[in-house]
Structure 1
Amino acid sequence: MVDRFLRNEGYFRIFHAANCQEALAICRTDKPDIAILDVMLPDGDGFALLTSIRRFSAMPVLFLSARGEDEDRLLGLGLGADDYMVKPFLPRELVLRLNMILRRVYASPTVEHMPVFGLGNYIVDLEGAEVRSEQGVQALTAKEHALLVKLYRERGRIVTSDALCQAVWGDDYFGYENTLMVHIRRIREKLETNPSSPEHLITVRGLGYKLLVKEG
């Protein structure tokens, strides 16, 4: 049903995967622009699948699942998903959400001429959407990238939670405050030695967040 509806809406390059193994093969070889994942799969679950995908790709991901509990939704978003929809769903809403993600990821001017800068023992490469350290390379998801772009542009200054939500979700950002906290935590896990006691991405209680970058 999803395949038929997407083709009617103009999506023409659609791949099917019946399990995690097939999905990983498709993501590696065909490199789709976006992935729609279920949580419950024959040979695993969508959360583990997303973790595997994130080891080699920052492609946007939307979860479409019957599991609608808050902990499942927050887990999916925390692992780097761009959105989480619960079944039953309106096919038109699915297309609208997919289009919003694709416009944000692939049509955003913020991906051009992005800097590379250091944060302690970490190198943040906004052009390549990754964080490098002695432990290896970690890809930034689309939302993590958008948040870091906004924070870097306002480095040293407080960026309100509303401003960060708007940078990621656009004008229709109300209700995403808790989701923002999940993404901030995931960013800290990638660029802080101790994410529970951050040195670079600081919380300013009651206001928002501040990125501390040593210039020069």
Structure 2
Amino acid sequence: MPAARVLIIEDDTAIRSVVRAAVEADGGRVFEAATASAGLQLAAAERPDLIVLDLGLPDADGRDVCKRLRAQGPVPILVLSARQQDTEKASLLDSGADDYLTKPFSTLELRARLRAQVRRARMLRGTEHDAPLRTAGLIVDFERRSVRRNDQEIHLTPTEWTLLQALARDAGRTVTHDQLFARVWGREYGDAQKYLRVYIAQLRRKIEGDPLRPVLIVTEPGVGYRFCAPEP
């Protein structure tokens, strides 16, 4: 994450220190705010590459802050929260967050998720939106609607392709069950988790090296799925 500019909006000094150390360990530069108002001002003034946002701020609800930050632009937002409920996690993702970590968290996972969000943002800025995604031997060509793994063509059904595309275009970001259900099947009712469980299993069998230990399509229990894009 060389030269990444990261804004931390967190009122807990100890947690800010942990996040700052994680960012600086990967060569990033840090801006800090202890309140929502200060964070919103810094976000507008500094235009960071990534924002780490705590939900439990003293002067505003973190979800509202997330919505206001998202309205400012497409900067990735990683939320830190002590809230464990799946409904809370899904709600904040629907509010505009790109990813979340539940407190307490490991520094190793924090650094990995920060790198993934910065990498995704730079990929989207630095290439055409329909440029092929290349990762871990897999090539997803959005324009040609084709998938290759280790130079072998993979044949997907139309539904499998639409599902893969919905995940791959948001690589590094957790996509909720409801969001995927609406994108793939075009509706907001029905048993989203049941539908997705079947099609995700089929997709994993075709694109994963080991479908029982997936590394590309990762399950976020009770919330949704995340397409991971490790270095090619």
> What TM-score bracket applies, with the shorter chain setting the length?
0.5 to 0.7
The structure 2 residue matched to 1:41, chosen from 16, 38, 57, is 57
The structure 1 residue matched to 2:30, chosen from 14, 22, 26, is 14
AA matched with 2:42: I
TM-score, structure 1 as length reference: 0.58
SS of the equivalent of 2:33 reads coil
Q: Compared with structure 1, are the counterparts of its residues 77 and 184 closer, same or farther at alpha carbon in structure 2 (3 Å cutoff)?
A: farther
The structure 2 residue matched to 1:94, chosen from 98, 101, 110, is 110
Q: Distance in 2 between matches of 1:183 and 1:110?
A: 26
Identity %: 30
RMSD: 3.5
Matched, 1:57 2:57: no
Matched, 1:165 2:157: no
Q: Kindly state the Cα deviation for residue 37 of structure 1 after the two structures are TM-superposed.
A: 0.5
Deviations 1:137-192 (A, max 9, x none): xxxxxxxxxxxx95x875xx65332443244337xx9xx6x71533675x8xxxx9
Checking the alignment, whether the CA contact within 8 Å between 1:160 and 1:207 is kept in structure 2 is: no
Q: Compared with structure 1, are the counterparts of its residues 21 and 179 closer, same or farther at alpha carbon in structure 2 (3 Å cutoff)?
A: same
Deviations 1:182-211 (A, max 9, x none): 3675x8xxxx9xx869xxxxxx99869xxx
Q: Kindly state the Cα deviation for residue 68 of structure 1 after the two structures are TM-superposed.
A: 1.9
The structure 2 residue matched to 1:179, chosen from 176, 181, 185, is 176
Q: Distance in 1 between matches of 2:77 and 2:56?
A: 16
Q: Distance in 2 between matches of 1:111 and 1:184?
A: 27
Q: Compared with structure 1, are the counterparts of its residues 69 and 113 closer, same or farther at alpha carbon in structure 2 (3 Å cutoff)?
A: closer
Checking the alignment, whether the CA contact within 8 Å between 1:66 and 1:88 is kept in structure 2 is: yes
Q: Compared with structure 1, are the counterparts of its residues 85 and 113 closer, same or farther at alpha carbon in structure 2 (3 Å cutoff)?
A: closer
Q: Kindly state the Cα deviation for residue 9 of structure 1 after the two structures are TM-superposed.
A: 2.5
Match of 1:138 in 2: none
Checking the alignment, whether the CA contact within 8 Å between 2:54 and 2:80 is kept in structure 1 is: yes
**Structure 1 segments of 4+ aligned residues over 3 angstroms from their partners:** 108-111, 157-160, 204-208
Q: Compared with structure 1, are the counterparts of its residues 182 and 7 closer, same or farther at alpha carbon in structure 2 (3 Å cutoff)?
A: same
Q: Distance in 2 between matches of 1:45 and 1:53?
A: 13
Structure 2 residues not aligned, in runs of 5+: 1-17, 131-140, 146-157, 190-194, 201-232
Q: Kindly state the Cα deviation for residue 46 of structure 1 after the two structures are TM-superposed.
A: 1.3
SS of the equivalent of 2:110 reads helix
Checking the alignment, whether the CA contact within 8 Å between 2:36 and 2:60 is kept in structure 1 is: yes
Matched, 1:106 2:85: no
Checking the alignment, whether the CA contact within 8 Å between 2:81 and 2:102 is kept in structure 1 is: yes
Q: Distance in 1 between matches of 2:77 and 2:94?
A: 12
AA matched with 1:107: M
AA matched with 1:181: D
Q: Kindly state the Cα deviation for residue 17 of structure 1 after the two structures are TM-superposed.
A: 1.0
SS of the equivalent of 2:30 reads coil
Equivalent pairs counted in the alignment come to 153
Structure 1 residues not aligned, in runs of 5+: 115-148, 198-203, 209-216
TM-score, structure 2 as length reference: 0.55
Deviations 1:65-96 (A, max 9, x none): 11121111101111121111101111111110
Q: Distance in 2 between matches of 1:113 and 1:69?
A: 34
Checking the alignment, whether the CA contact within 8 Å between 1:78 and 1:183 is kept in structure 2 is: no
